[in-house]
Structure 1
Amino acid sequence: MLVKCLIFKHVRTYLQFRLNERTAHSSLDLFKKDTGIIYRMLGLDPSQVQDDPERFREWAVVLADKKISSGRHYWEVTVKKSEEFRLGVAEALMSRDECVGTNSSSWVFGYAQRKWFAMTNSKVVPVTLVGKPDRVGILLDYEAGILGLVDTEKPRIIHTLRAQFIGPVCPAFGLWDGELLTHSGLEEPEGL
């Protein structure tokens, strides 16, 4: 008797995103096929930027083009020549007149004045991280309500923000100097 056995391979897909130019503040230029941003001090004259209700008007912020409403996702960010930035997630419908981390609809890890911090709803919590790595990871577990800052060298979670996500969120980035390059479509490192 011949028994046919079918093996189904579970194909994992990893969050792949680009930065959404429609949301980018006028001082941010997208590059590298919309996976990176560079801060331009003078930026573009806001009157020369296409008016879009999705665009951040007051703050140098950009959202990714993917909305997340379930699952565990991981991405990394390379930081170059920047002394002030924020990385995290924001509700897709977050006000475009606010900065990420200053309201109850965004959760970020930031770096300013040579120190790391976690921030939501304008509440700042210091994150003890020695030095400024060139590359960090972000781990989002939507159902568990966890956003983690990951040391990509070890790899280990350095700090965790707890949240109760209600609606879809997008990867979010704020930048006030230098440049950031996002790396999506990555497998979550083992042990996190």
Structure 2
Amino acid sequence: MAAAVSARLCRLAERTAVGVSARPRPGVPPPERRRFISSTARSDLHFRLDEQTAHSSLDLFKKNTGVIYRMLGLDPSHVRDNPARFRDWAVVFGDEKINGGRHYWEVTVKKSQEFRLGVAEALMSREDCVGTNSCSWVFGFAQRRWFAMTNKKVVPVKLVGKPDRIGILIDYEAGILGLVDVEKRAIIHTIRVRFKDALCPAFGLWDGELLTHSGLEEPDGLK
């Protein structure tokens, strides 16, 4: 029931584009497994999904590279308490930090009609949903439409259907987060922002499943 309420509230956030405070929640340490990626012009980023951050409605599988949404999920009281875990929103972070460089990964979407893909500051408040504050930047799909969401604003993304596989490109120094059409090898939409703090790959999921593919080389022609 808590997961269903969370999903409805997050959908409301999409319609109103009104988020809560972007100030990091005190005492939210990054998981011990995370390490910084050195700042380079291009670097292949390898990450898995971090179980320590995963909401109780999300199950990780395939060696923590995939996530599936369970409507009922686990009883939050039965989930190991961790200040890094999302309690109110169906969100999970990747287990690597990004503080520089240019990185690319892809996501396979299965049976999902509502999800978000992007990045967020590692110390983002776990009381927020990705895309509803000023320290997370995502591309979302809901009601058969794509949108970009950041800084409490929702921008429609046109000329894209619902592909089975989508790419995410980030250039930290250039301040670019791109949604990539994998088949056409083209950037569909770009979010521009001045990144200041360490970031993590971020995912929100309210049905179906997502499978991440990291450690990939950036396709040619995405400059």
Q: TM-score, normalised by structure 1?
A: 0.93
1:163-174 alignment runs, 5 A limit: 163-174=193-204
- Could you say which residue in structure 2 is the equivalent of 1:65? 95
Per-residue CA shift, 1:122-149, capped at 9, x if unaligned? 2000000332001000000000010000
CA contact (8 A) 2:114 2:142 kept: yes
- Could you say which residue in structure 2 is the equivalent of 1:141? 171
1:6-25 alignment runs, 5 A limit: 13-25=43-55
Number of residue pairs the alignment of both structures matches:
181
Matched, 1:46 2:76: yes
Q: 1:179 is matched with which residue: 203, 209, 218?
A: 209
Q: Distance in 2 between matches of 1:161 and 1:130?
A: 16
Per-residue CA shift, 1:34-92, capped at 9, x if unaligned? 00000000000000000000000110000000000000000000000000000000000
Larger Rg: 1 or 2? 1
- Could you say which residue in structure 1 is the equivalent of 2:107? 77
Q: Distance in 1 between matches of 2:88 and 2:111?
A: 23
Unaligned runs of at least 5 residues, structure 1? 1-11
Letter in structure 2 aligned against 1:103: N
Q: 1:29 is matched with which residue: 40, 45, 59?
A: 59
CA contact (8 A) 2:124 2:135 kept: yes
Once superposed, which parts of structure 1, at least 4 consecutive aligned residues long, lie more than 3 Å away? Answer: none
Cα shift at 1:14? 1.1
CA contact (8 A) 1:36 1:179 kept: yes
In terms of fraction of residues, the more helix-rich structure is: 2
CA contact (8 A) 2:43 2:102 kept: no
CA contact (8 A) 2:119 2:200 kept: yes
- Could you say which residue in structure 1 is the equivalent of 2:146? 116
Q: Distance in 1 between matches of 2:150 and 2:82?
A: 26
Q: Distance in 1 between matches of 2:103 and 2:157?
A: 22
Q: Distance in 1 between matches of 2:188 and 2:161?
A: 13
C-alpha RMSD of matched pairs (Å): 0.8
Q: Distance in 2 between matches of 1:131 and 1:163?
A: 25
- Could you say which residue in structure 1 is the equivalent of 2:14? none
Q: Distance in 1 between matches of 2:68 and 2:155?
A: 27
- Could you say which residue in structure 2 is the equivalent of 1:87? 117
Q: Distance in 1 between matches of 2:115 and 2:81?
A: 25
